[in-house]
Amino acid sequence: MTEKLQPPRGTQDLVGDEYRRHTRIIETAQEIAENFGYEGIATPIFESTAIFKRTIGETSDIVGKEMYTFNDRGGEELTLRPEGTAGVIRAVISNGLTQSMPLKLLYNGPMFRYERPQLGRRRQFHQLGVECLGIAHPYADVETIALGVHILKALGVFDKTVLEINTIGDIASRQAYRQALVTYFTPYKDKLSVDSQERLTRNPLRILDSKDAGDQAIIAEAPQFEDYLNETSRDFFAQVCAGLDQLSLPYKINRRLVRGLDYYNHTAFEFVTSELGAQGTVLAGGRYDGLMSQMGGPETPGVGWALGIERLALLLDSLAGSKRPFAIIPVGETAFTECFTLTMKLREAGHTADIAYGGNMGKRLKRANKINAELAIMIGDEELAHQQAIIKNLDSGDQKTVALSEVFGYLSNSSNK
C-alpha cells in the first residue's frame, strides 16, 4: 500500500481561500506601508547561525530549543531564520546602508521554529514586518504603531484587537528593574516552573511572560517596572502616549508587557485578540536601539514590528471585494472560437475571465459558481446566428440577451477589473 503523501508536521499548503487570504494581507500591507515611505527588502531564508545567537541570545528558548540548524557541505553552520529582524539588520550592514539613514524597510516571508503545532502557530509560518531605522524621536514609535493600525483597519480586523503598550525604559532602568526581579523571585525559586527557574539567572524579565499558573500567582506581586523608570524613560513614554492620543488611537497600558532581549528599550507594544485562544498576539513590536551595534554596526536607533500572517488570516471575515471573474461558456465549436477571442480581449483590458473548455451546460455553470463568477456569458450556435449572447447574473439568476457587438462594452462597465 502506497503511503499517502502529506506536508511535514507543522507545515501547510496554501491553496484556495487560504492562499487568497495570505496574499490579501501581504498586498494590503505593502500598499499602505508604501504610503508611509517604506520600501521592500528580501533576505535569505537561512543565515549564519551566529547571526541569531548574537541577537536572540544563546540562552533563549528560540536558540536553545526551536531553531532549525544544520551544517552545509562546506561545514558552515546555518539556520533557517526564526524571525526577520536579524536578517534585515545584517543586510543593512552587509550592503553598506548604514550611511543612508533613515531607512524604512518592509519584509515578508517564511520563518521556521521547531515547536508544538497549534492554532496560529506552525513550524513554518509567515511573517510580515517593518523596520524603521535611524530615527530616535518618540513619534517614530507612534508612526510605526499607526502603520499597524492602518493595515489592520484596511483588513477589517482592527476592531477585533486591542493595542497594548508599555515602556521597558532605557538601559539604566532595565538594569535596576532586572536586579529588583532577581531579588524578588529568588526566595520563590523552588516554586517557580523549570523554565522560570532557568530564566531567573539568565533573563529574569522573561519570567513575566510565563503562562504557568503557579508562576502567575507569584508574578502577581512582583515589582512594577514603572517604579524603576528614570526621568528620561518616563518622558519618552509620555511622548509616545501623547502621540497616540493626538491621533485618537486607543490603547491600553499593560505593565507586564516586556521584551527580554537586552537590545530592546523604551516602547513595547502588541495588538492582541481574544478570538484565537492562547495565540492572541497578531502584531507585536518595539524599539531596539541596541541591535545594530550588537551586530557589529554603528549605534543606530530602530523601531519595528512583525505580524503573523497565519494568525491574522484567521481573523479575516471574508474576502469580500475580491475581483470576481467572468465565466465565458461556449456551446459548440463555432461558438468556442468567438468565446475564446472575447475571453482574451477581456483579459487584455484588465478583467478576470475564465472560459469553459468542456462538459455540458450544467457542469459549466457549476464551475462558474465554484470560481465565484459574477456573470456567465453564454454563446451557442443559435446566439451566433442572431449575433447575440446571453449574460446571466449568477447572484440574482437574472439574465438578458445582449448583441455580440455590445458584449465587451457591457462587461467593461462591470465591477470586474
Residue-range definition of the domain harbouring residue 263: 16-170+230-315
For the stretch 349-372, pLDDT in tens is 889 999 999 888 889 989 998 888
Residue 157: all three cell numbers together: 480586523
Is the pLDDT confidence value at 323 over 70? yes
Task: Indicate whether 86 belongs to any domain.
Answer: yes
Pair (295, 358) in one structural domain: no
Task: Indicate whether 60 belongs to any domain.
Answer: yes
Pair (307, 260) in one structural domain: yes
CATH number (domain holding residue 33): 3.30.930.10
Per-residue confidence (pLDDT) for residue 211, from 0 to 100: 81
CATH number (domain holding residue 373): 3.40.50.800
- Average pLDDT over the chain reads 90
Pair (60, 158) in one structural domain: yes
The answer for residues whose C-beta is within 8 angstroms of residue 136's C-beta and 6 or more apart is: 289, 301
Per-residue confidence (pLDDT) for residue 256, from 0 to 100: 83
CA distance linking residue 252 with residue 270, whole number of Å: 10
Per-residue confidence (pLDDT) for residue 63, from 0 to 100: 67
Per-residue confidence (pLDDT) for residue 48, from 0 to 100: 94
Pair (309, 330) in one structural domain: no
For the stretch 104-131, pLDDT in tens is 999 999 999 998 877 777 999 999 999 9
Task: Identify the DSSP state of 144.
Answer: H
Is the pLDDT confidence value at 20 over 70? yes
Residue 259 or residue 7, greater confidence: 7
80-94, 217-231, 248-262: which range is least confident on average?
248-262
Pair (365, 251) in one structural domain: no
What total number of domains does the chain contain?
Answer: 2
Per-residue confidence (pLDDT) for residue 324, from 0 to 100: 86
Residue 103: all three cell numbers together: 531607512
Per-residue confidence (pLDDT) for residue 22, from 0 to 100: 95
CA distance linking residue 6 with residue 103, whole number of Å: 42
Per-residue confidence (pLDDT) for residue 215, from 0 to 100: 92
Task: Indicate whether 11 belongs to any domain.
Answer: no
CA distance linking residue 406 with residue 179, whole number of Å: 78
161-165, 318-322, 404-408: which range is least confident on average?
318-322
Task: Indicate whether 183 belongs to any domain.
Answer: no
User: What percentage of residues in the chain have a pLDDT greater than 90?
Assistant: 65
Task: Indicate whether 376 belongs to any domain.
Answer: yes
The answer for residues whose C-beta is within 8 angstroms of residue 156's C-beta and 6 or more apart is: 316, 317
The average pLDDT across 158-168 equals 96
Pair (300, 353) in one structural domain: no
The average pLDDT across 279-292 equals 92
The band of 318, judged by pLDDT with boundaries at 50, 70 and 90, is: low
Is the pLDDT confidence value at 320 over 70? no
Identify the sign of the CA torsion 159, 85, 198, 10: positive
The average pLDDT across 324-339 equals 90
Pair (142, 25) in one structural domain: yes
Per-residue confidence (pLDDT) for residue 21, from 0 to 100: 92
The pTM assigned to this predicted structure is 0.85
Pair (262, 348) in one structural domain: no
Is the pLDDT confidence value at 415 over 70? no
* Domain end point (choices 315, 335, 352): 315
Pair (296, 344) in one structural domain: no
Is the pLDDT confidence value at 322 over 70? no
Pair (245, 352) in one structural domain: no
Per-residue confidence (pLDDT) for residue 358, from 0 to 100: 84
Task: Indicate whether 196 belongs to any domain.
Answer: no
The band of 179, judged by pLDDT with boundaries at 50, 70 and 90, is: very high
172-176, 318-322, 336-340: which range is least confident on average?
318-322
The Cα-based distances of 378 to 352, 361, 390 in angstroms read 16, 9, 5
* Domain end point (choices 285, 315, 345): 315
Q: Are 340 and 352 in contact (CB under 8 A)?
A: no
Residue 277 or residue 161, greater confidence: 161
Residue 404 or residue 417, greater confidence: 404
